[in-house]
Chain A
Amino acid sequence: MEFRNAAWVAAVCAYCGSNLVRRDAGVQSQGKVAALQEDGSVLQLGARGRLHNRLFMLAGRIQRGWERGYWSEWYADFGDGREGWLAEAMGFYYFTFRQNAVFDPRRLDELRPGESVRVAGHDWQVSDIKDCRIVSAAGELPEPAVAGFESRCVDLVAGDRRCATLERLSPTETRFYAGEFAEFDELRLTGLREIDGW
C-alpha cells in the first residue's frame, strides 16, 4: 500500500478493505471496514473537478448511515493542504473545509431546524440535524474512519450559497466545516461513476 500524499495518515485498501494507519515506524492495519452501501452517488474515487478554478480530486470517502439511509462524504484533495469535503444531497453539491472554530458540544442538543446560530463570527440557520454513524470508508483520508463511530451532524446555511456543518465527535469535541454549495455543472466533474441506462 502506497500513500500518495505525505499529509494523509489513513487509507482503506481498495483490494482487501483493510483500514491502514501510518505510524512513525510504518503502516499498521486497524482491521477491515464494512462494505459500502448503495447510496446512489454519481461520485467515485479518482473523480476530478474544479471549485473556483482550483482543481481537486476525490481521494477518499466516508459513508455515513442514519435512520433512513446512507450518504457519502468525499475527501477532496486540492494539493494545498486544505481538508476539503464534498457531499451531495438533492442535487446540490456541498463543498466544505475544516475550520478551527470552537463550538460548545452541549449546544448541539438545543439546536432545532430553522433556528439561527452564530458560529465563527457568522450567522447561520440550522437546516438539518442528523444522528449518524460511519458505515464504511474508502481511499485515503486525513484520519482513520472507524466503522460504527457515532456523531451528531448539524447542517447550517446562510446567504450567498454558504453552508457549513457542525459535527459533534464526543461530548467534548465539536468540529466545524464551512464552505458553499455548488450546482453540478459548476464543478465540471469528470471521471464520474457510470450510470446504467442514462
Chain B
Amino acid sequence: MAGESPVPPAAPPLKVAAFRCAACGAPVTLRAPGRSQVASCDSCGVVLDANDPNHRVLAGAVQGRKAAPDIPLGARGALGGVTWEAIGFMRRRDGSAAYGWSEYLLYNPWRGFRWLVESEGHWTLVRMSADRPDDNGDGSFSYRGERYKEFLSGSALVQYVEGEFYWRVEVGERVSVSDFVAPPHILSREISGDEISWSHGEYLPADVVASAFRLDPPPYQIGVAACQPFPGGIKPRALAALALLMVGALFTLQLYTVVRSESKPLYSADLTAHAAGPERQIVTPPFTVDIPTRDLELVASSPVNNNWLYLDASLVNESTQESFPADLEVSYYQGVDDGESWSEGSQRADRLLSSVPPGVYHLEIETTLPGNMPARDFHVEVIRDVPVWRSFWLLVAPLLAVALGLGIAGFSFEAKRWSQSDHPFVTSSSGNDDHDG
C-alpha cells in the first residue's frame, strides 16, 4: 500500500442544503443532503423532489389536518450512545383504520437511518435489515440466532408526512406488513409491489426516548406492545422454570437423604398400659442416643379397635435430667354404615423430637385408658435419624409460590400482548359462548 503518498485534496464538507419551495417560495432545508429524495415544505405542506434541479412539487398539500409530531423535526437525541436527528415524520394506520401509529425518521451521517416508531405510547427503534431472515416454514422466522413468532399481518397506509425521506413517500401509499416478535425484538416485512424489505426493531422504554428527545410529557402508554419485554428485565417463564428446576433439585436431594437415613432403632419394647394404680407410671431401662442426631422419633402402636390409648411420654436424659416431652394418642375406630365401611385414626402414633443431644436416656410414660378397660398391651420404639420433610417443604413452598406467581404474571402479560395479534391465545368471553350446543 502506498502509505507515503500525498493525501488527495479533501472533499468539501457535507452541508445542510436549502432551496425555495416551488409552490410558495418559503425556504426548505435538507438535513440529509444527497440522501433524501423528498422534502416537505413547512409553510404550505407540499412534498417536493429533493434531487430535481427545480425541486418540482410531487404532491400537493392535500393532507388535511396537520398531525403534530411529539419529537420536533430537527431535534437531536442520543440513543445507545449514538446521536440521531429527527428529519422525517409520518402517521400511518392499518388498512382497517382500527389503529394508527407514528414513525420518526432518524438520521446520522455516518450510521444512516433509523425509524423511531411510537404506537400507543410504546417506542421501538427500527433499522432496515441488510440481510434476510430465514423462513422456518411454520410461520416463524429466524434472524441472528433468535426465533420470531408471527404476530400480525395487515396493510399499512400513509396518512400524513412531514420532513424528508429517502424514498418517494406518498400519502395514501399502502404496503402489506407482517410483524414477527421475539421480545424485546421485532422483525417486520413490508411488501410493496415486487419489493420485499425487512426491518429489525428493539423495544425502547418510554423514559429512554423521553429523556433523549426531552419529551414533555411522554405519550400515555396503553396495553402491552408487540415486542415489549416483561417489566424489570425479567424473563418470567425462564425464572419460573429455574424455580421449578430448584424444586426438582431439592426433591432429588431430599429423596437421597430419605434413602440414606439409617432409621436405627435405639430402644424397642412391648409394654402394658394400666388404667389405674402405680402401674400407670412406666419407666423404661436406659438406652443410649449414640451420635449427635437431628431427629429422634418416638413410635407407639397398639391393636386398639373402636378404642383408644393415651401415652404421656417424656424422653429423659439420665445425667442432665433434661426432658423432651411427647404425648401420643393411639386411637382407631371403624364400622359399617348404610352398607359402607369406614375407619378413622390409626393403630400407630408417632412424635418427632428435635435436637436431642447424645447421652443415656430413658422413657417415662404415664398411661391413660378408657374407663371400661383395665389394661392394654402396646409397643414403643425410639428411632434415630428419621427422614424429615418439614425443612424440605419450608424451602420448596416459597419456590413453588414464586414459580406460580411468575407463571401467572407472565401468562397475563403474554395474553395482553397476543390479544393485539392475529394469534390471540386467550379468546374474549364477550362473544358467543363456546359451550353452547
Chain A residues near B (Cβ < 8 Å): 4-5, 14-15, 37-42, 44-46, 55-57, 68-70, 77-79, 88-92, 94, 112-114, 125, 127, 138-139, 157-159, 161-163, 181, 184, 191-198
Q: A113-B195, A159-B134 are in contact. Are A194 and B14 (CB under 8 A)?
A: yes
Q: With A5-B2, A55-B1 in contact, is A68–B7 under 8 Å at CB? A: no
* Contact between A194 and B10, CB atoms less than 8 A apart: yes
Given A14-B9, A68-B168, A70-B34: A92 in contact with B15 (beta carbons within 8 A)? no
Can you list 16 A-B contacts with CB-CB less than 8 angstroms, sorted by A residue number?
A: A5-B2, A38-B14, A38-B17, A44-B11, A57-B2, A69-B34, A69-B37, A90-B112, A90-B166, A91-B112, A94-B130, A157-B130, A194-B10, A195-B109, A196-B16, A197-B16
The 10 closest A-B pairs by CB, nearest first: A91-B112, A79-B1, A40-B34, A194-B13, A45-B8, A4-B2, A40-B35, A46-B7, A38-B34, A44-B11
> In the complex, A77→B34 CA distance in Å?
26
Judging by beta carbons under 8 Å apart, are B196 and A44 in contact?
no
A94 and B1 alpha carbons, distance in the complex (Å): 21
Give chain B nearest CB distance to A45 CB in angstroms.
4
CB of B113 within 8 Å of the partner chain: yes
Please, how many angstroms separate the alpha-carbon atoms of A130 and B109 in the complex?
23
How far is A198 from B7 in the complex, measured between Cα atoms in Å?
A: 23
B128 touches A (CB below 8 Å) = yes
Instruction: Count A/B pairs, Cβ under 8 Å.
Output: 116
Beyond the given pairs A69-B34, A90-B128, A138-B8, 15 more chain A to chain B contacts, judged by CB atoms under 8 angstroms and listed by A's residue number, are: A4-B2, A40-B14, A41-B34, A45-B11, A68-B51, A69-B51, A79-B2, A90-B112, A113-B195, A127-B130, A157-B132, A159-B131, A161-B130, A163-B131, A184-B110
CB distance from A8 to the nearest CB of B (A): 10
Interchain nearest-CB distance for B237 vs A (Å): 28
Q: What is the minimal beta-carbon distance from A32 to any residue of chain B, in angstroms?
A: 17
List chain B residues, Cβ under 8 A from A4: 2, 5
A44 and B110 CA atoms in complex are apart in Å by: 12
- CB-defined contacts of B13 to chain A, threshold 8 Å: 193-196
- The answer to whether B225 has its CB under 8 Å from any CB of chain A is no
What 0/1 pattern do residues 1 to 37 of B give for CB contact below 8 A with A? 1110101111101111100000000000000111101
Residues of the A chain whose Cβ atoms lie less than 8 Å from the Cβ of B51: 68-69
A139 CB contact (under 8 Å) in B8, B194, B196: B8
Q: How far is the CA of A198 from the CA of B168 in the complex (A)?
A: 26
The prevalent SS among residues of B at the interface is loop
| Chain B interface residue count, Cβ-Cβ cutoff 8 angstroms | 39
Q: Is the beta-carbon distance between B34 and A39 smaller than 8 angstroms?
A: yes
Query: Are A38's CB and B8's CB within 8 A?
Result: no
Q: Which of B1, B15, B109, B166 contacts A42 (CB 8 A)?
A: B109
Q: Is B111 an interface residue (CB 8 A)?
A: yes
Nearest CB in chain B: distance from A188 CB, A: 12
CB of B108 within 8 A of chain A? yes
Would you call A196 and B1 a contact (CB within 8 A)? no
Name the residue in A4, A5, A94 with the highest tally of chain B Cβ atoms < 10 Å from its Cβ. A4
CB of A114 within 8 A of CB of B196, answer yes
State the Cβ distance, A77 to closest chain B Cβ, in Å. Answer: 6
**Closest partner residue, chain B, to A183 (CB atom):** B111
Establish whether residues B11 and A161, one from each chain, have CB atoms under 8 Å apart when the complex forms: no
The chain B residue sitting closest to A56, CB to CB, is B1
Q: How far is the CA of A186 from the CA of B195 in the complex (A)?
A: 29
A113 touches B33 (CB 8 A): no
The residues of A that contact B134 with a CB separation of less than 8 Å are 159
User: Smallest CB-CB separation from A139: which chain B residue?
Assistant: B8
**With a CB–CB cut-off of 8 A, which chain B residues contact A41?**
14, 34
Residues of A within 8 A of B83 (CB): 198
* A89–B197 alpha-carbon span in the complex (Å): 14
Q: Which residue of chain A has its CB nearest to the CB of B193?
A: A113
Given known pairs A68-B37, A68-B168, the reply for A195 and B130 (CB within 8 Å) is: no
Instruction: Select which of B131, B167, B194 is within 8 A of A113 by beta carbon.
Output: B194
Do residues A195 and B1 form an inter-chain contact, with CB atoms below 8 A?
Answer: no
Identify which of A139, A157, A159, A198 contacts B109 (C-beta below 8 A): A198
**Cβ-neighbour of B10 out of A40, A44, A89, A112 (below 8 A):** A44
Q: Considering the complex, give the chain A residue whose CB is closest to the CB of B31.
A: A197
Minimal beta-carbon separation of A74 from chain B (angstroms): 12
Residues of A within 8 A of B127 (CB): 91
